[in-house]
Structure 1
Amino acid sequence: MTHPFIAAARRNAVNEAHDIGIDDAFISSLVERFYARIQADEMLGPIFAQRISDWPHHLAHMKKFWRSIMLKTGEFSGNPMTKHVAITKIDNPEFSHWLKLFAETLDEIGSSKEASTRVYGRAEMIAESLLLGIHIHRDGIKFPAKVRG
């Protein structure tokens, strides 16, 4: 059973997200449009194409991920770090480009400034965390991972 304090914090987070336009429909649109960009992208498209054969399944999984992050649904299960550490040809340029495409998608879907700022901030934290994990597992930590320009 969820502690009442935690349940209230989740409700507040969801209400705040909804107030700035982050809801299921927003996340669905973001994920679908973002990964359409990824698939068409010269740099990232081939990386994803080598690993994802069932795009509808991947999109559904990513929607669960982003709902868990932004709406506190708790429905995502998986280990993104393990998936990304397994990709040998991924580093700062790819993550920076991923963030660029993410920002372009937020602009394209016409999200509010508040929604864009909040979601993009989470995307930056996730990218930096994944990049740091990749460097720790692949190289040992030699420098702090920093995706932002």
Structure 2
Amino acid sequence: MTSPQSHHDTPRDRTPDEANIRALVEAFYRRVDDDPLLGPIFAGRLEGRWDAHLATMTRFWSSLVLGSKQYRGNVQEAHRPIEDIEPRHFARWLSLFLRIVEERYEPAAAVQFMEPALRIAHSLQLSKFGWDYQIPAEQQELLDALRRQLVGDEPKARFPDRPAGEPFPAKFIGKSADRDD
């Protein structure tokens, strides 16, 4: 791949479309290829296949963001054979991706990429590392920043506060299995 072009001199896109999604994917994977942590992983798997991968990723993001339904694949299965992925790789991938999305899109458009990227990464991590997996602090910071962007700085409590380890308060209707009445 070639080295990244500066994108600072052009305005950010207000809405995603096929052309700017393709440009985003190409610019992002140039950064991935140049990254000392991620580059070797991708280069080892995509040697001679970069063009096909970029086309697949363009279809993938177009399907997610534009609803084009062009992508036909299984994200979990595509990543399952990659044995040497560690938690730090996810955090770096997300950091690079969210940064380039933020550079290229206005905030309302950027969120359309950020939210699914974080959700998919978390799903892949749970699948790879188990349900008790704790996401890295760097990734949690990214999630928190996105949450603030979506809802503002005031946390909106959805559930009542409770001590750690205490079951969520709920009323159950029906007979208890340990009662005789």
TM-score using structure 1 length = 0.77
Q: What root-mean-square deviation, in Å, do the aligned CA atoms of Structure 1 and Structure 2 show?
A: 1.8
Distance 2:129 2:60 in 1: 23
Partner residue of 1:142 out of 125, 132, 135: 132
* Matched residue, 2:40: 46
Shift of 1:112: 0.5
Q: Does 1:33 align with 2:27?
A: yes
Gaps of 5+ in 1: 1-18
Q: Which has the higher helix share?
A: 1
Kept in 1, the 8 Å contact 2:125–2:133? The answer is no
Partner residue of 1:89 out of 78, 84, 87: 84
TM-score using structure 2 length = 0.64
Distance 1:148 1:130 in 2: 15
Per-residue CA deviation, residues 52-85 of structure 1 (Å, 9 max, x unaligned), is 1211111001000011111111111122211212
Secondary structure at the counterpart of residue 90 of structure 1: coil
Which stretch of the first structure deviates more once superposed, 71-80 or 83-92?
Answer: 83-92
Kept in 2, the 8 Å contact 1:124–1:148? The answer is no
Distance 1:72 1:123 in 2: 15
Query: Greater Rg, structure 1 or structure 2?
Result: 2
Q: Does 1:60 align with 2:50?
A: no
* Matched residue, 1:107: 102
Counterpart amino acid of 2:50? W
Shift of 1:118: 2.1
Which stretch of the first structure deviates more once superposed, 85-94 or 48-57?
Answer: 85-94
Aligned residues with identical type, % of pairs:
36
Kept in 2, the 8 Å contact 1:44–1:94? The answer is yes
> How many residue pairs get matched?
126
Distance 1:108 1:32 in 2: 14
Shift of 1:22: 1.1
Shift of 1:20: 4.3
* Matched residue, 2:126: 132
Q: Does 1:116 align with 2:97?
A: no
